Structure 1
Amino acid sequence: MTILRYEESGWEKLSDLIFRRHVHGSRVTIAQFKLLKGSVVKPHSHPHEQVSIVVNGRAKFVVGDETYIVNPGDVVHIPPNVMHGVEAIEDSLIVDVYSPVRDDWIRGDDKYLRS
């Protein structure tokens, strides 16, 4: 069993407005994203199924041809290989669950998140 204590691990700064902390299991990756107002995660796709849970704040998700304004408690499901992106309307905390494991992050192939 692994316990990641977020208060001890700190946040990885991906840009001036985007911060991440995550843990990999054998079949899933779970991440917290702190998206400050005005931050943009550029449109991208990946072979991982993604479920995003809005903990606080408001954000605009574009998934395929659809646009959603999400609020605390909302859940967004993003199927594998579907283009998607997000813009923070307010400072937001979003929990993402991915399956399978984000091996691209392990390799450092996450340039779309970095400035």
Structure 2
Amino acid sequence: MPYYSLPENIVWTEVAPGNHRAVLSERPELMLVAFRFDKGAVGALHSHPHTQVSYVAEGNFDVTVDGVTSHLGPGSSFIVAPDLVHGVVALTDGLLIDTFTPRRDDFLMSPS
């Protein structure tokens, strides 16, 4: 299993208009993922059985978790318990760094 993830090996996948995802590192019990958003792009409201912690590396977002929306900028973070409905709207171009436990196996599947 590789210990390192190098920028030249990262594969970005478009998951919605203006929203791209890259799996940076993963093991069955933990995953690190980057999400790049264009201004105005939406990470639609959704839920999943994983615990998620997200760090705002760049940009500004309206983040909704369990019906509560907050404006978050660089250096902010948020946590989502399993099965809570959550989503984001990019107010500017931005980058979120997300961790998931356990790993999101659906992110490892090839796009169809």
SS of the residue corresponding to residue 105 of structure 1 reads helix
2:13 corresponds in structure 1 to 12
Mapped to 1, the partners of 2:59 and 2:9 lie a distance apart of 23
Q: Which residue of 2 aligns with 1:25?
A: 27
Structure 2: runs of 5+ lacking an equivalent = none
CA distance in 2, matches of 1:94, 1:39: 13
Q: Which runs of 5+ in 1 are unaligned?
A: 111-115
2:106 alignment partner AA: D
Q: Normalization by structure 1: what TM-score?
A: 0.86
TM-score by length of 2: 0.88
Q: Which structure has more strand as a fraction of its residues?
A: 2
Q: Deviations over 1:37-95 (max 9, x none)?
A: 01011110000000000001000111012101100000101111000011100000110
Q: Report the Cα offset of residue 10 of structure 1.
A: 3.7
What secondary structure is seen at the aligned counterpart in 2 of 1:104? helix
Equivalent pairs, count? 109
Superposition deviation, residue 104 in structure 1? 2.5
Indicate conservation of the 8 Å contact 1:6/1:21, yes or no.
no
Task: Give structure 1 regions of 4+ aligned residues with deviation exceeding 3 angstroms.
Answer: none
Which of 43-52 and 7-16 deviates more? 7-16
How big is the shift at 1:107? 4.3
Identity over aligned pairs, percent: 31
Q: 1:96 to 1:81 in 2, by over 3 A?
A: same
The aligned amino acid for 1:7 is: E
**Structure 1 segment 1-115 matched on structure 2, within 5 A:** 1-2=1-2, 3-22=4-23, 23-107=25-109
Structure number with higher helix proportion: 1
The Cα of 1:11 is off from its aligned counterpart by: 1.8
Aligned-partner residue type, residue 85 of structure 2: M
